[in-house]
C-alpha cells in the first residue's frame, strides 16, 4: 500500500487536489475554432472544385457566422487569461514551439480571410450594400473574380486551425490523456462534423443537404474510429495512460462520455441521417443539433478529464 500526502499542507486554488486551471472558456474556444474550421474547409473545397453554385449554404450562408464564431472564440480565450492587460504580447512574439503561440497567429490570419470571404458575398444578402470607398469596391470586385485564390489559403488554414484545436491539448506531455497525436486529427474531424451540421441546418436545398448529410455520416464514422484508436493506444501504453483511459472506461467520465458524446452525439445522429437519406422524414434539426451538442460536450469532457490525469511519482 502506498499513501502520499503533503506534509507541509498545500491547497493552492485550481491546482490542488487536482489541476483545474482551464475552465469553461477553453472548451468553448476549441469548439468554436473547430466549427469555424469545418465551415471554412467545406466552403473552400467546394469553391475550388467549382461547385459553389450548387452549394449555396456551404459557400455563402454558413461562412457568414464564421467571423462571429472566431471572434467570440478569441474573446473566450481572452476571458481565460489571468493577466488580461498583457494579452497583446501574444502578437509581439513568434514562438513556433508553443502551440498556443502559433495557434493565436493562425487565428490572426484566418479571421481576416473569413471576413474577406463574407464581405465578398455580402451583396448576395444585401443587394443595396455599398462599401462607400472606391478602393473597397475595386478590391471586392477582385475578390469576387478570384475566389479560388482566396479559397486555397482559406482551406489550408482551416485544416491547420482544426488540427490546432487538438494539438493545443496534445502538446502537453504532463497530461497523459491529452498527450496523444491522434487528438489533432480527432478534433479536426469532430470540428468538420460540427461545421457540416451547421451547414445542414442552414441549407434550404435538398440536394445540398443530402451531400452534406453523406459527408457528415462519413465524418462521424471516422470520428468513432479515432475514438476507438484513442483508447486502444492508451490501454497499450504506460500506467499513467491506462489510468487516463480508465476515466472514460469505468471511471467518473464514463456515463457522460458514452451517453452524450458517443450515443447521442455520434451514433444516434448518424442513424437519423442514414434514415433521412433512405427517404424517411426526419426533422433535419435533430441530428444537426445533437452533433453540435455532442461536439461541445466532448470538448468539455476532454479538457476537464485531461487536467485530472498526471504522472505519479
Partner 1 sequence: MRYAMAIDTRKCVGCSDCVVACQTENNVPLGFCRDWVVEVVDGTYPNVSIELRSERCNHCDNSPCVRCCPTGASHFEEGGIVLVEHNKCIGCGACIQACPYDARYSHPEGYVDKCTFCIHRVREGKDPACVSVCPTSCMYFGDLDDPNSKVVNMLKNRKFKSLAPEAGTKPQIFYLV
User: Could you give the residue ranges of the DSSP H alpha helices within 178-284?
Assistant: 183-202, 206-235, 239-246, 254-256, 268-277
- Given 68, 80, 201, 232, the residue binding partner 1 (CB under 8 A): 80
| Residue 15 is a binding residue for partner 1 (CB under 8 A) | yes
Residues 6+ apart with CB under 8 A from 91: 104, 105, 108
| Residue 137 is a binding residue for partner 1 (CB under 8 A) | no
Site size toward partner 1 (CB under 8 A) is 48
- Given 75, 98, 123, 277, the residue binding partner 1 (CB under 8 A): 98
> What is the distance between the alpha carbons of residues 213 and 227, in angstroms, rounded to a whole number?
21
> What is the distance between the alpha carbons of residues 290 and 121, in angstroms, rounded to a whole number?
29
- Given 50, 53, 89, 126, the residue binding partner 1 (CB under 8 A): 89
How many residues are present in the chain? 313
- Among residue numbers 221 through 280, which ones bind partner 1 (CB under 8 A)? 238
User: ∠ CA(184), CA(288), CA(43), 5° rounding?
Assistant: 60
> What is the distance between the alpha carbons of residues 248 and 164, in angstroms, rounded to a whole number?
23
> What is the distance between the alpha carbons of residues 273 and 267, in angstroms, rounded to a whole number?
10
- Given 97, 126, 135, 250, the residue binding partner 1 (CB under 8 A): 97
| Residue 180 is a binding residue for partner 1 (CB under 8 A) | no
> What is the distance between the alpha carbons of residues 27 and 76, in angstroms, rounded to a whole number?
9
> Cα separations (Å) of 46 from 62, 135, 215?
13, 28, 13
User: Looking at beta carbons only, is 68 or 87 nearer to partner 1?
Assistant: 87
User: Looking at beta carbons only, is 181 or 254 nearer to partner 1?
Assistant: 181
- Name the segment binding partner 1 (CB under 8 A); options: 34-42, 50-58, 80-88, 126-134: 80-88
- Name the segment binding partner 1 (CB under 8 A); options: 172-180, 200-208, 219-227, 287-295: 172-180
| Residue 21 is a binding residue for partner 1 (CB under 8 A) | yes
- Name the segment binding partner 1 (CB under 8 A); options: 63-71, 85-93, 138-146, 287-295: 85-93
Q: Give the position of cell 476549441.
A: 30
Provide the binding-site residues for partner 1, judged by CB under 8 A.
Answer: 1-16, 19, 21-22, 77, 80-84, 86-87, 89-90, 92-93, 95, 97-101, 104, 171-175, 238, 307, 310-311, 313
Amino acid at each position: 500500500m502506498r499513501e502520499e500526502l503533503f506534509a507541509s499542507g498545500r491547497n493552492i486554488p485550481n491546482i490542488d487536489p487536482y489541476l483545474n486551471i482551464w475552465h469553461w472558456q477553453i472548451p468553448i474556444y476549441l469548439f468554436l475554432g473547430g466549427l469555424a474550421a469545418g465551415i471554412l474547409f467545406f466552403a473552400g473545397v467546394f469553391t475550388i472544385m467549382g461547385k459553389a453554385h450548387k452549394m449555396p449554404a456551404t459557400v455563402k450562408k454558413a461562412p457568414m457566422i464564421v467571423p462571429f464564431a472566431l471572434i467570440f472564440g478569441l474573446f473566450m480565450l481572452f476571458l481565460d487569461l489571468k493577466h488580461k492587460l498583457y494579452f497583446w504580447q501574444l502578437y509581439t512574439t513568434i514562438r513556433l514551439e508553443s502551440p498556443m503561440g502559433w495557434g493565436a497567429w493562425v487565428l490572426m490570419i484566418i479571421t481576416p480571410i473569413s471576413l474577406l470571404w463574407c464581405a465578398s458575398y455580402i451583396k448576395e444578402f444585401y443587394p443595396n450594400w455599398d462599401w462607400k470607398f472606391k478602393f473597397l469596391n475595386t478590391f471586392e470586385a477582385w475578390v469576387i473574380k478570384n475566389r479560388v485564390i482566396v479559397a486555397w489559403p482559406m482551406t489550408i488554414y482551416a485544416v491547420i486551425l482544426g488540427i490546432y484545436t487538438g494539438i493545443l491539448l496534445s502538446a502537453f506531455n504532463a497530461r497523459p490523456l491529452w498527450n496523444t497525436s491522434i487528438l489533432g486529427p480527432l478534433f479536426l474531424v469532430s470540428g468538420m462534423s460540427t461545421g457540416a451540421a451547421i451547414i445542414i441546418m442552414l441549407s434550404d436545398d435538398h440536394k445540398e443537404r443530402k451531400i452534406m448529410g453523406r459527408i457528415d455520416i462519413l465524418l462521424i464514422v471516422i470520428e468513432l474510429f479515432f475514438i476507438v484508436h484513442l483508447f486502444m493506444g492508451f490501454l497499450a501504453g504506460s500506467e499513467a495512460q491506462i489510468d487516463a483511459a480508465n476515466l472514460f472506461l469505468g471511471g467518473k467520465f464514463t456515463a457522460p462520455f458514452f451517453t452524450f458524446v458517443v450515443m447521442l452525439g455520434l451514433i444516434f445522429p448518424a442513424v437519423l441521417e442514414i434514415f433521412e437519406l433512405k427517404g424517411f422524414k426526419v426533422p433535419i434539426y435533430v441530428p444537426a443539433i445533437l452533433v453540435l451538442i455532442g461536439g461541445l460536450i466532448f470538448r468539455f469532457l476532454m479538457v476537464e478529464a485531461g487536467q485530472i490525469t498526471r504522472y505519479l511519482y
